[in-house]
Amino acid sequence: MCFTALGGLVLANRATEVTYPVIPGAIQPTTTKMLLPEYVKYLFNFLVVVSGFIVFGSLVYAGFVYLTSSVNPSALSEARDRISSSLIGLAIILSSYLILTTVNPQLTILGVGLSAKWGIVLYDASSCSGNFKEITTNTPDLEDDFNDKTRSIEFKAPKGTLDLEVYPQTDYKPEDGFVRVKSEDATDISGKICIEFSASSSRSIKFVWNLPGVYLINNQGLEKFLPADTATLGDFDNKVEKIRFRNTENVKFGAVLHEHQDWQGKCQVFASQDSLSGRLGWITMVPENELQEITGLVEGKVSSVTTFSPVPTSQAIGGGVTFYEHNDFGGESFGPFKEERINVGEVSGFDDNMITSIKIEGNYIAVLFEHADAEGRCEVFTRNDSNLRDNPIGRCHCGPFGWGCGDCLSSFIIIPTR
């Protein structure tokens, strides 16, 4: 009861009030919700340290019992067993840490998305030979060891998925122009996807990914590829100015841009043009591979993103989205909805602030808004939720200590997805 009564603090849209211990090799959580890989990494290091203290305490206690029980054979035997068990536990802890950090450090890298090895290798000689420098992200300064020294480039990504913009000055200064290098023009040289580079000056490199998906462009013109939902944009937080979608013949893309980290605050929905029927007027439709400037609800204030792949209603799978008056899908129901944008008051008997659960049958994304016309706080759902009172969209008009909360739903968008 004590744990669940503090749910309001968990849902608060602010930095965590817990001061996390500094653990070597782990990033301290800074928000109420981090992506699972970061938390796993932090908790692993934290548990190793805590386990060490527990083993040490157990050894001290067993040693004390051993020294003070010389006339009690059973207590001596128990103390010896405790010491042995503690030493075995210590060996297990040290072994697991050594295996995961020394023998194979890659086992502790639990990232998602692009391969950590994808990128390029710069060489100071032709045919991808000589001294080299590996790069896996945008690099504003190649530094003295490789400024103006690149003579060939090896691509560590499939052909056609990565282009480069090589600038003659640091910090990608656009007024100085750049050289465009495409991986699809590279050739196989001794097993390397290699391309010769002849520009005399090269001091900064910007990656231009061509993978299908969602791309954000910040106020410096840099591009960020999003292969999946992203709870925090890091150095792109509150700096996103444009969005573009790179589709395939069969797969289109869309995105919900959220004002705050962890998919909180206001939001705005974007989708590839012609991916939907056109009846969803609250969605900004973006021509394929064209830049769309972000204006409106989240202009300049994007800190997290939900990605999806919309399909026309004719290709929708499943029964749709149904809203229920009470929790556990009880009481009066409204729906199912398959591809709609609706103000709640437009549906007979469906009033503001009366929904407590939502059921999603099939492949759909439901974007729920606090106010009419897709405004105010929003929350995205892709699966059933039997009690919205546990969610921000279900916690309006709360009384003291977070009791007596009501639903915030006044409008919603339903989109069929792959």
Burial of 24 by CB count in 10 Å (0-12 exposed, 13-18 middle, 19+ buried)?
exposed
In the chain, how long is the greatest CA-to-CA distance? 87
Give the long-range contacts of residues 90-97, CB within 8 A, separation 24 or more: 90/52, 90/55, 93/48, 93/51, 93/52, 93/55, 96/48, 97/48
Q: Looking at 30-159, list the stretches that DSSP marks H as alpha helix, in order from N- to C-terminal side.
A: 36-67, 73-98
Give the long-range contacts of residues 276-281, CB within 8 A, separation 24 or more: 276/310, 276/312, 276/339, 276/415, 277/312, 277/313, 277/339, 279/339, 279/340, 279/341, 280/339, 280/340, 280/341, 280/413, 280/415, 281/341
CATH topology of domain 314-416: Gamma-B Crystallin; domain 1 (2.60.20)
**Angstrom distance (rounded) from CA 349 to CA 54:** 59
**Angstrom distance (rounded) from CA 337 to CA 171:** 49
CA 148 to chain centre: 36
Residue 53 burial (CB count, 10 A): 9
State the CATH architecture for 120-209.
Sandwich (2.60)
The residues near 214 (Cβ < 8 Å, ≥ 6 apart) are 225, 226, 243, 245, 253, 255, 305, 307
Domain definitions of the chain by residue range = 36-108, 120-209, 213-310, 314-416
- The count of C-alpha atoms lying within 13 angstroms of the C-alpha of 7, restricted to the half-sphere facing its C-beta, is 14
Model pLDDT, residue 409: 87
Q: What is the DSSP letter of 99?
A: I
Model pLDDT, residue 403: 67
State the CATH architecture for 213-310.
Sandwich (2.60)
For residue range 273-316, list pLDDT tens digits in order. Answer: 877 765 667 898 999 888 898 887 787 789 999 999 998 888 88
Torsion of CA 299, 301, 303, 309, to 10 degrees: -10
- Residue pLDDT tens, the chain, 418 long: 565 555 554 444 444 456 666 555 455 554 444 445 556 666 777 777 788 888 888 888 888 888 887 677 777 788 888 888 888 888 887 777 676 655 544 444 443 344 446 889 999 999 999 999 999 888 899 988 888 999 999 999 888 888 999 999 988 887 778 899 999 999 999 889 999 998 888 999 988 888 889 999 988 888 888 878 888 888 889 999 999 998 888 889 999 999 999 899 999 999 988 777 656 678 989 998 888 988 877 877 899 999 999 988 888 889 999 999 888 999 999 989 988 888 988 887 777 667 889 999 999 999 999 999 999 999 999 999 998 888 888 877 776 765 667 788 889 999 999 8
| Identical topology for domains 120-209 and 213-310 | yes
